[in-house]
C-alpha cells in the first residue's frame, strides 16, 4: 500500500531504524534520531542496490516518486543510477580541482617550459595569469563561459589596459585549448570575443629616421661612460636588427666565430623559429672586445650584480635617457625601425631580405624556408654595408662637431 503525507509525518523514531515502503521500489528509512530518508531499491547486474534520494520533508513524497521514476528509466535503459551518480560526483570533484589557474599553471610548466620559451615569455605568461585570477582563477575551467571571460577582460579595458586585455585573451585561449586537449574543458570561450574587445592603437616605438641624428646617437654612445656590458650592448644594438629581448638574452655559445654568425634559438624568438644573424667585421670585433672583459661563457650581456642573469629589459632605454635622449626620440626597439627605414630608402636591398633580417618571417612556412636560402647571401652583404654606413655616419658627425674648448 502506498504511503501518504500525513502517514509519513506520523512516523516516530524508534530504538532501531525501520523501513516503510511506498511503491515501485521507493522506501522511507526512519532512523533513531528521527530523520526520514528516501531510497530507491532496485536490482542491477544481479545485485540489489539502494540509491539515496534525499530526506523528508526537504524532498516531498511527490518529488521522491518523480526521482524514483527517473532512476527506474535509467535501469530499464541499462544504466546503473548509483554508478552514474558516483561518476558525476567524481567529475564535479575533478572539475573543482582543475580550475583555470591549475590548468594555466600546467600549460606554463608542462608545455611552455619544456619548449624552451624565453624566461621573459614565461614571466609574461605568469603575469597574464595573475591578472585573470581574481575573476576566473578559482573557477573550474569548464565552467568559464564567454560572458565570464568577457567580463574579466572588460575589467582590464576599464583601466585603460587595452593591449593587456588583448594579450590576456590570447593567453587564455591557449590555456583553454590546452585544457581541451587534456579533457578538462570542451570549448575555448575566448574564440568569439575578439570582436567584442576594443582594438588598441598600433604601438609605434620612437626611432631616429634621419642619418644626421643617427650619427649623433652613435657618437653619444661612444662618449657615454657606463658598465662595460651596457656599453657594448649600446654599440652592437644598432648593427644587428634584433629585438631588445633577443639581444640581452644572447649567450656566447650562440656565436660562431668561423662562420661570423649569431644563431638565436627558437625559444628566444618571437616567431618561434631559430634566427641566424650575419655578423659584420665591426660587430665581430666588438664581440671580441667584450669577450676579453666578461669571458666566453654564459650571457653576452650579463646583469651588473650577477652573471647568472642577463641585463634587465630597461637597461638600454635607461642608458638612452641618461644620455639625454627622451622616450619620444629613441628606444631600443626603435633601432629596428631605424634600420628598416634606412635600408629600404637606400634602394640597394630587396624588401624581403630586409624583412628576413628583422626576423619578421613569413606566414607561409615553406615560403619562409625558401626565402632564407634565397636572401642569405644578400643579408650577409647588407649586414656589412649597414655597419660600414653606421661608421660613415659616426665619422660625419665627428667631423661636423665643433672643436672642444
Tell me what pLDDT residue 204 has. 62
The answer on 102 and 73 residing in a single domain is: no
Question: Partners of 299 in the beta sheet?
Answer: 251
Q: Please report, for the domain that includes residue 268, its CATH number.
A: 1.10.443.10
Question: Of 196, 229, 260, which closes a domain?
Answer: 196
The answer on 388 and 330 residing in a single domain is: yes
Q: Indicate whether 32 belongs to any domain.
A: yes
Tell me what pLDDT residue 115 has. 86
In this structure, of 139-143, 198-202, 256-260, 398-402, the range with the lowest mean pLDDT score is 398-402
Q: Please pick, among 154, 270, 350, 381, the residue that the annotation labels catalytic.
A: 270
**What is the mean predicted confidence (pLDDT) over 134-144?**
92
Q: Which domain holds residue 160?
A: 98-196
**What is the mean predicted confidence (pLDDT) over 220-227?**
93
Kindly tell me if the per-residue pLDDT of 31 is higher than 90. Answer: yes
Q: Please pick, among 36, 333, 356, 394, the residue that the annotation labels catalytic.
A: 333
The answer on 123 and 19 residing in a single domain is: no
Question: Of 134, 163, 196, which closes a domain?
Answer: 196
Kindly tell me if the per-residue pLDDT of 291 is higher than 50. Answer: yes
**What is the mean predicted confidence (pLDDT) over 68-96?**
85
pLDDT in tens, 325-371: 998 899 999 999 999 999 999 999 999 999 999 988 654 443 343 34
pLDDT class of 306 with cuts at 50, 70, 90: confident
Q: Please pick, among 154, 273, 360, 372, the residue that the annotation labels catalytic.
A: 360
The answer on 176 and 30 residing in a single domain is: no
The answer on 66 and 189 residing in a single domain is: no
User: To 5 degrees, how large is the angle CA 242–CA 245–CA 250?
Assistant: 75
**What is the mean predicted confidence (pLDDT) over 200-216?**
80
Q: Please report, for the domain that includes residue 32, its CATH number.
A: 3.30.160.390
Tell me what pLDDT residue 53 has. 94
Q: Please report, for the domain that includes residue 174, its CATH number.
A: 1.10.150.130
Tell me what pLDDT residue 98 has. 87
Q: Who has greater pLDDT, 90 or 5?
A: 5
The answer on 260 and 227 residing in a single domain is: yes
Kindly tell me if the per-residue pLDDT of 124 is higher than 70. Answer: yes
The answer on 225 and 173 residing in a single domain is: no
Kindly tell me if the per-residue pLDDT of 91 is higher than 90. Answer: no
The answer on 359 and 277 residing in a single domain is: yes
Q: Indicate whether 264 belongs to any domain.
A: yes
Q: Indicate whether 89 belongs to any domain.
A: no
Q: Please pick, among 243, 249, 275, 379, the residue that the annotation labels catalytic.
A: 243
Q: Indicate whether 206 belongs to any domain.
A: no
The answer on 102 and 56 residing in a single domain is: no
Q: Who has greater pLDDT, 66 or 363?
A: 66
Kindly tell me if the per-residue pLDDT of 29 is higher than 70. Answer: yes
Tell me what pLDDT residue 116 has. 81
The answer on 44 and 187 residing in a single domain is: no
Tell me what pLDDT residue 366 has. 37
Kindly tell me if the per-residue pLDDT of 199 is higher than 70. Answer: yes
Tell me what pLDDT residue 236 has. 96
Please say if 270 is a catalytic residue: yes
Q: Please pick, among 249, 275, 336, 379, the residue that the annotation labels catalytic.
A: 336
Q: Indicate whether 203 belongs to any domain.
A: no
In this structure, of 22-36, 189-203, 269-283, the range with the lowest mean pLDDT score is 189-203
**What is the mean predicted confidence (pLDDT) over 110-129?**
89
- Percentage of the chain modeled with pLDDT above 90: 68
Please say if 336 is a catalytic residue: yes
The answer on 107 and 51 residing in a single domain is: no
Question: Of 46, 80, 114, which closes a domain?
Answer: 80
**pLDDT averaged over the chain?**
89
Q: What's phi and psi for 210, nearest 5 deg?
A: -105, 130
Kindly tell me if the per-residue pLDDT of 94 is higher than 80. Answer: no
The answer on 272 and 123 residing in a single domain is: no
Tell me what pLDDT residue 209 has. 85
Find how far residue 140's CA is from the centre of its chain. Answer: 19
For residue 370, what are the contacts with CB-CB under 8 A and spacing of at least 6? none
As a whole number of angstroms, the distance between CA 355 and CA 347 comes to: 14
Please say if 243 is a catalytic residue: yes
Q: Indicate whether 161 belongs to any domain.
A: yes
In this structure, of 44-53, 254-263, 354-363, the range with the lowest mean pLDDT score is 354-363
Tell me what pLDDT residue 404 has. 44
Q: How many domains does the chain divide into?
A: 3
pLDDT class of 206 with cuts at 50, 70, 90: confident
pLDDT class of 402 with cuts at 50, 70, 90: very low
Please say if 370 is a catalytic residue: yes
Tell me what pLDDT residue 361 has. 60
Q: Indicate whether 205 belongs to any domain.
A: no
For residue 148, what are the contacts with CB-CB under 8 A and spacing of at least 6? 135, 136, 139, 189
Tell me what pLDDT residue 23 has. 93
Query: Is the bond preceding 57 in cis, omega lying within 30 degrees of 0?
Result: yes
Q: Indicate whether 90 belongs to any domain.
A: no
CA dihedral angle for residue 329, residue 315, residue 335, residue 211, rounded to 10 degrees: 60
- Percentage of the chain modeled with pLDDT above 70: 92
**What is the mean predicted confidence (pLDDT) over 148-175?**
93
Amino acid at each position: 500500500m502506498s504511503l501518504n503525507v500525513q502517514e509519513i509525518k506520523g512516523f516516530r523514531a524508534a530504538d532501531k531504524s525501520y523501513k516503510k515502503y511506498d511503491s515501485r521500489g521507493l522506501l522511507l528509512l526512519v532512523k533513531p534520531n528521527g530523520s526520514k530518508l528516501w531510497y530507491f531499491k532496485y536490482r542491477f547486474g544481479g545485485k540489489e542496490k539502494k540509491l539515496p534520494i534525499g530526506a523528508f520533508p526537504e524532498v516531498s513524497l511527490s518529488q521522491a516518486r518523480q526521482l524514483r521514476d527517473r532512476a527506474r528509466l535509467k535501469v530499464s535503459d541499462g544504466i546503473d543510477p548509483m554508478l552514474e551518480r558516483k561518476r558525476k560526483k567524481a567529475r564535479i570533484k575533478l572539475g573543482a580541482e582543475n580550475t583555470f589557474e591549475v590548468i594555466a599553471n600546467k600549460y606554463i610548466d608542462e608545455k611552455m617550459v619544456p619548449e624552451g620559451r624565453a624566461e621573459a615569455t614565461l614571466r609574461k605568461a605568469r603575469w597574464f595569469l595573475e591578472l585573470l585570477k581574481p575573476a576566473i582563477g578559482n573557477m573550474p575551467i569548464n565552467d568559464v563561459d564567454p560572458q565570464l571571460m568577457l567580463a574579466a577582460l572588460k575589467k582590464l579595458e576599464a583601466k585603460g589596459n587595452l593591449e593587456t586585455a588583448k594579450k590576456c585573451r590570447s593567453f587564455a585561449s591557449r590555456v583553454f585549448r590546452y585544457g581541451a586537449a587534456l579533457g578538462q574543458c570542451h570549448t575555448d570561450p575566448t574564440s568569439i570575443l575578439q570582436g567584442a574587445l576594443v582594438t588598441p592603437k598600433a604601438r609605434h616605438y620612437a626611432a631616429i629616421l634621419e642619418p644626421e641624428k643617427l650619427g649623433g646617437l652613435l657618437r653619444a654612445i661612444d662618449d657615454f661612460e657606463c658598465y662595460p656590458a651596457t656599453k657594448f650592448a649600446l654599440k652592437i644594438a644598432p648593427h644587428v636588427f634584433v629585438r631588445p629581448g633577443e639581444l640581452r638574452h644572447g649567450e656566447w655559445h650562440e656565436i660562431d666565430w668561423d662562420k661570423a654568425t649569431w644563431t638565436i634559438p627558437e625559444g628566444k624568438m618571437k616567431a618561434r623559429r631559430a634566427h641566424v644573424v650575419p655578423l659584420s667585421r665591426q660587430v665581430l670585433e666588438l664581440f671580441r672586445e667584450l669577450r676579453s672583459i666578461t669571458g666566453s661563457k654564459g650571457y653576452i650581456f650579463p646583469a651588473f650584480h650577477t652573471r647568472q642573469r642577463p641585463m634587465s629589459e630597461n637597461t638600454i632605454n635607461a642608458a638612452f635617457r641618461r644620455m639625454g635622449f627622451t622616450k619620444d626620440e629613441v628606444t631600443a626597439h626603435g633601432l629596428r625601425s631605424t634600420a628598416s627605414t634606412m635600408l629600404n630608402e637606400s634602394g640597394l636591398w630587396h624588401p624581403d631580405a630586409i624583412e628576413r633580417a628583422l626576423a619578421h618571417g613569413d606566414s607561409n612556412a615553406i615560403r619562409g624556408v625558401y626565402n632564407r636560402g634565397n636572401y642569405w647571401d644578400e643579408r650577409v652583404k647588407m649586414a656589412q654595408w649597414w655597419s660600414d654606413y653606421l661608421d660613415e655616419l659616426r665619422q660625419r658627425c665627428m667631423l661636423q662637431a665643433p672643436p672642444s674648448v
